[in-house]
C-alpha cells in the first residue's frame, strides 16, 4: 500500500517538477498512440482474415471427406461397372448413398468379375462393407449437417441479348459444382439482383424470350422505380394534359424529331406542345412561325427521363409520375423502360432468380427445359445478367465417334467466390447436371481438389480440428478410416498455402507490434530515471524511516506498470471509437488520396470494424508488462541510493 501511494504521488504533477510531469504525460501519450495504432491494425487485419475464412467455408465447408485411392480401387466401387443393375457405370458417393442394394453384382445375371478386381470385404453379419452408408450413419449420429458434392466440367456458351440488334456471345471452359442446398452458409454468398438484371428480365419477358409474365416480375418487387430508355419512343398520347416544352427538328415545315425538354438543343427549335381536343391532335407553337400539328399517335423522345412509379393493371404496365411539373399516367410497352431501383421483399418461392429462404438456397423452375445455374461474381462484372441463356456443352464417347451434348441453361443468379483461386470458373448447378456429365467423362480439377466427396458444415469454424479428431476415431472404430481422407479448411489444396500465410502474417504482426510497443515503453525508463533524480531526498527519508530497498524498487516498478496500464486503457478506448467510425476515416483517406484506398476485390465493400479480442488481450497484457520491465532499470538505480550521502548533499 505504501509503494502504491508513493507511486501515485510521484505521478501527480507538481510545480517544482513540471518538466517531469510533462515528460510523464508525453510518455503516456506516445504509448497510448502506439496501443491505438496496433489495436486498430490488428483488429482490421484479423477481420479481413475472418471474412476470407468465412467465404472460404461458406462456399466449401469447414470439413471435407474425400475418398482415398483405396476406396477407388476397392470392390465396393469397382464392381458397379460390371453389373447390369448398376448400368455398367461407376457411381458417385451420392448415388452410392441412395441405392438400397450396396452390392449390385449378381453371379446369375452378370459375367464373372475380372481376376484383378479386389476381393469383396464383408462385415460380421455377412453384409458387404459399405464405407459410404457407414460414413453417413456416423455423421448423422453426431448430428452434423453434411452433403455429398460433385465437380465436373463443361464448355459454357452464353448468348447475350442487349437490345434488338446487339447480340454477343461468351464461351468459357468451366468447372461445375453441384448445388450445396444443405449448406447453411452458402445463401450468404448469393448476390441480389441489380437494376440491370431486373431491366434485362423485363425486356426478355416482353420479347417472349423467357417463359414468364411481367406481372410475375413486378410482383416480386417492392415500389419499383423505372426510367424511359434513351431514344425510346414516348407516346404523345401520354401528354394530353398540360403544356410541354420541346425541342423540334423541323424540315420543310415537317417535324422530323421531337425531344421533350426545357433545355435548348443545338440545331433544334424550341417550342411549346399542347393538345387540341377539338381537332384531336397536338399543336406545336413557335414564335413568328406557322402553327404545326402532330397526330396523337406520334411520339417523342425524352432528353432526360425522370423516375416513374410502375404498376400493373389488367396485365398492362402503367407508369405514373411528374414530368415538367405535370402529372402523367400512361401504359407503356415493357421494352421501353428500365428499372432504375427497387427493393426486394423477402420471397419464399423463387420465380425468376435464385433466393435465400431460411438460410437455404432455392433455384427457380422455368416452364421450358432450361436448367437454372449460378455464375461467379466475375462473370457478372463481365456483363452477364440474370435472365441470360445458353448451353453447357460436353462430349460423350462411343465406339465409333465422339458426340457433343448440350444442356440448356438459364442464369438464375450470381455468387461471391471469395478467396477460391479458381472460383471465377466455377458454376453452381443442380446435382443432376454434374452426374450426367460425370457419367460421360471424368474431370480432374486443376489444383488437385477431389471431384467427389462429402462436405460437413459446423456452427463454428473453430470446431473443425476437434470434430475431425472425433470423426477419425469413429471411422477407425468402424474400420472405414482407410477409405476416407478427412481434411479441415486449413488443409485444402487451394487454401493450405493461404492459411499458412495467414498464420505467418499473424505471427509477424504480433512480433512487429511487440517491437513497437517495446520502443514506446522505453520512454518509461527516461521518465523514471528523472523521477529518481527528482525524488532523491524523499527516497533517502523513506530509507531512513526503515523502508527496504525492495520496497523502493517496487515503487518505481509499480509506477511504470501504472503508466502502461493507463496507456493501454486510453489507447484501447480510442481504438474502439476509431473502429466504430472506421468508414468515416476511410472516406477521409479516400479523399486525400483521390482514389479508393482499399480495393473491394481484396478488402470487400467495407473494412471490418469489429474489435479483435485476441488483440485486445495481447495489448492489455504486453503493454503493462513491458512498462514494468522498463521500470526495472530506474528501480534498481533507486534501490542503490545511500540515504546518508543524499541527505548530507542536500544540506
Evaluate whether residue 209 is within a structural domain.
Answer: no
- Contact between 31 and 520 under an 8 Å Cβ cutoff? The reply is yes
Asked if residue 539 and residue 610 are part of one domain, the reply reads: yes
- Check residue 128 and report its DSSP letter: B
Asked if residue 384 and residue 406 are part of one domain, the reply reads: yes
- Contact between 27 and 523 under an 8 Å Cβ cutoff? The reply is yes
Asked if residue 292 and residue 320 are part of one domain, the reply reads: yes
**Interval 373-390: pLDDT, tens:** 999 988 998 899 999 999
Range of the domain at 158: 149-193+353-440
Evaluate whether residue 529 is within a structural domain.
Answer: yes
Q: Which of 444, 453, 447 is nearest to 421 (CA)?
A: 447
Evaluate whether residue 202 is within a structural domain.
Answer: no
Evaluate whether residue 453 is within a structural domain.
Answer: no
pLDDT given for residue 601 in this prediction? 57
What does the alpha-carbon distance between residue 319 and residue 631 come to, in Å, rounded to a whole number?
A: 76
Give the torsion through C-alpha atoms of 483, 489, 495, 499, to 10 deg: -130
What does the alpha-carbon distance between residue 367 and residue 500 come to, in Å, rounded to a whole number?
A: 48
Global pTM value: 0.75
Asked if residue 421 and residue 374 are part of one domain, the reply reads: yes
Cα end-to-end distance, the chain, whole Å: 30
pLDDT given for residue 17 in this prediction? 52
Evaluate whether residue 300 is within a structural domain.
Answer: yes
Evaluate whether residue 303 is within a structural domain.
Answer: yes
**Interval 44-69: pLDDT, tens:** 888 877 777 777 777 788 999 999 99
Asked if residue 505 and residue 397 are part of one domain, the reply reads: no
Count of Cβ atoms closer than 10 Å to residue 273 Cβ? 22
Write down how long the chain is. 651
Asked if residue 121 and residue 88 are part of one domain, the reply reads: yes
Rg (CA), the chain: 37
Helix 131-141 / helix 464-478 crossing angle, nearest 10 deg: 130
Asked if residue 105 and residue 48 are part of one domain, the reply reads: no
Long-range contacts, stretch 477-480, CB < 8 angstroms, 24+ apart: 478/134, 478/138, 479/129, 480/129, 480/131, 480/134, 480/135
Q: State the burial class of residue 561 (Cβ atoms within 10 Å of its Cβ: 0-12, 13-18, 19+).
A: buried
Evaluate whether residue 542 is within a structural domain.
Answer: yes
What does the alpha-carbon distance between residue 205 and residue 610 come to, in Å, rounded to a whole number?
A: 44
Alpha helix locations (H) across 522-642? Answer: 523-534, 536-544, 549-580, 582-593, 600-603, 613-630, 632-639
pLDDT given for residue 594 in this prediction? 67
Asked if residue 419 and residue 315 are part of one domain, the reply reads: no
Asked if residue 636 and residue 510 are part of one domain, the reply reads: yes
Evaluate whether residue 124 is within a structural domain.
Answer: yes
- Check residue 368 and report its DSSP letter: S
For the chain, list residues with pLDDT below 70: 1-23, 164, 288-289, 314, 398-400, 418-423, 443-447, 523-549, 552-553, 556-557, 593-606, 631-651
What does the alpha-carbon distance between residue 227 and residue 235 come to, in Å, rounded to a whole number?
A: 14
What total of structural domains would you count in the chain?
Answer: 4
Asked if residue 101 and residue 39 are part of one domain, the reply reads: no
Asked if residue 159 and residue 186 are part of one domain, the reply reads: yes
Asked if residue 158 and residue 301 are part of one domain, the reply reads: no
- Contact between 305 and 219 under an 8 Å Cβ cutoff? The reply is no
Amino acid at each position: 500500500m505504501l509503494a502504491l501511494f508513493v507511486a501515485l504521488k510521484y505521478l501527480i504533477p507538481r510545480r517544482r517538477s513540471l518538466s517531469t510531469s510533462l515528460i510523464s504525460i508525453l510518455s503516456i501519450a506516445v504509448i497510448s498512440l502506439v496501443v491505438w495504432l496496433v489495436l486498430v491494425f490488428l483488429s482490421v487485419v484479423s477481420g479481413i482474415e475472418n471474412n476470407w475464412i468465412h467465404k472460404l467455408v461458406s462456399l466449401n465447408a469447414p470439413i471435407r471427406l474425400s475418398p482415398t485411392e483405396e476406396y477407388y480401387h476397392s470392390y465396393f466401387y469397382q464392381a458397379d461397372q460390371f453389373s447390369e443393375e448398376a448400368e455398367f457405370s461407376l457411381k458417385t458417393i451420392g448415388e452410392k448413398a441412395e441405392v438400397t442394394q450396396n452390392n449390385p453384382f449378381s453371379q446369375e445375371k452378370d459375367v464373372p468379375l475380372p481376376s484383378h478386381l479386389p476381393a469383396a470385404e464383408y462385415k460380421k453379419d455377412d453384409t458387404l462393407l459399405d464405407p459410404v452408408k457407414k460414413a453417413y450413419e456416423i455423421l448423422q449420429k453426431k448430428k452434423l449437417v453434411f452433403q455429398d458434392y460433385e465437380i465436373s466440367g463443361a464448355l459454357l456458351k452464353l448468348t447475350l441479348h442487349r437490345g434488338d440488334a446487339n447480340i454477343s456471345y461468351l464461351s468459357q471452359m468451366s468447372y461445375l459444382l453441384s448445388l450445396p442446398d444443405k449448406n447453411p452458409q452458402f445463401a450468404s454468398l448469393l448476390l441480389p439482383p441489380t437494376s440491370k438484371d431486373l431491366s434485362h428480365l423485363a425486356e426478355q419477358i416482353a420479347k417472349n424470350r423467357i417463359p414468364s409474365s411481367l406481372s410475375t416480375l413486378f410482383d416480386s418487387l417492392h415500389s419499383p422505380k423505372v426510367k424511359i430508355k434513351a431514344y425510346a419512343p414516348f407516346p404523345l398520347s401520354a401528354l394530353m394534359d398540360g403544356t410541354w416544352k420541346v425541342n423540334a427538328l423541323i424540315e420543310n415545315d415537317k417535324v422530323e424529331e421531337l425531344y421533350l425538354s426545357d433545355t435548348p438543343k443545338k440545331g433544334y427549335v424550341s417550342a411549346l406542345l399542347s393538345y387540341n381536343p377539338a381537332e384531336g391532335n397536338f399543336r406545336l407553337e413557335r414564335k413568328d412561325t406557322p402553327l404545326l400539328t402532330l397526330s396523337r399517335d406520334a411520339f417523342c423522345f425524352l432528353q432526360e427521363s425522370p423516375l416513374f412509379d410502375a404498376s400493373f393493371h389488367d396485365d398492362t404496365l402503367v407508369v405514373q409520375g411528374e414530368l415538367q411539373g405535370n402529372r402523367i399516367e400512361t401504359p407503356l410497352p415493357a421494352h421501353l423502360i428500365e428499372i432504375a431501383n427497387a427493393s426486394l421483399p423477402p420471397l419464399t418461392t423463387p420465380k425468376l432468380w435464385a433466393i435465400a429462404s431460411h438460410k437455404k438456397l432455392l433455384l427457380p423452375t422455368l416452364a421450358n427445359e432450361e436448367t437454372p445455374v449460378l455464375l461467379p461474381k466475375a462473370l457478372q462484372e463481365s456483363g452477364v445478367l440474370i435472365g441470360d441463356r445458353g448451353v453447357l456443352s460436353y462430349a460423350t464417347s462411343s465406339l465409333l465417334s465422339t458426340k457433343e451434348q448440350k444442356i440448356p441453361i438459364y442464369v438464375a443468379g450470381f455468387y461471391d467466390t471469395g478467396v477460391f483461386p479458381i472460383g471465377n470458373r466455377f458454376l453452381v448447378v443442380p446435382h443432376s447436371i454434374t452426374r450426367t456429365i460425370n457419367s460421360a467423362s471424368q474431370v480432374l480439377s486443376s489444383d488437385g481438389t477431389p471431384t467427389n466427396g462429402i462436405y460437413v458444415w459446423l456452427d463454428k469454424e473453430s470446431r473443425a480440428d476437434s470434430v475431425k479428431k472425433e470423426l477419425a476415431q469413429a471411422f477407425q472404430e468402424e474400420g472405414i478410416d482407410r477409405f476416407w481422407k478427412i481434411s479441415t479448411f486449413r488443409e485444402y489444396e487451394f487454401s493450405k498455402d493461404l492459411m499458412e500465410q495467414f498464420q505467418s502474417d499473424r505471427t509477424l504482426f504480433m512480433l512487429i507490434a511487440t517491437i513497437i510497443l517495446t520502443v514506446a515503453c522505453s520512454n518509461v525508463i527516461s521518465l523514471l530515471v528523472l523521477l529518481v533524480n527528482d525524488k532523491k531526498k524523499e527516497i533517502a527519508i523513506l530509507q531512513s524511516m526503515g523502508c527496504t530497498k525492495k520496497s523502493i524498487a517496487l515503487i518505481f516498478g509499480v509506477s511504470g506498470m501504472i503508466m502502461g496500464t493507463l496507456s493501454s486503457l486510453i489507447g484501447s478506448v480510442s481504438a474502439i471509437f476509431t473502429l466504430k467510425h472506421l468508414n468515416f476515416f476511410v472516406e477521409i483517406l479516400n479523399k486525400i488520396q483521390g482514389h479508393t484506398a482499399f480495393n473491394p476485390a481484396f478488402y470487400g465493400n467495407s473494412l471490418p470494424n469489429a474489435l479483435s479480442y485476441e488483440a485486445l488481450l495481447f495489448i492489455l497484457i504486453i503493454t503493462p508488462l513491458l512498462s514494468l520491465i522498463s521500470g526495472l532499470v530506474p528501480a534498481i538505480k533507486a534501490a542503490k541510493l545511500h540515504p546518508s550521502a543524499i541527505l548530507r548533499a542536500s544540506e
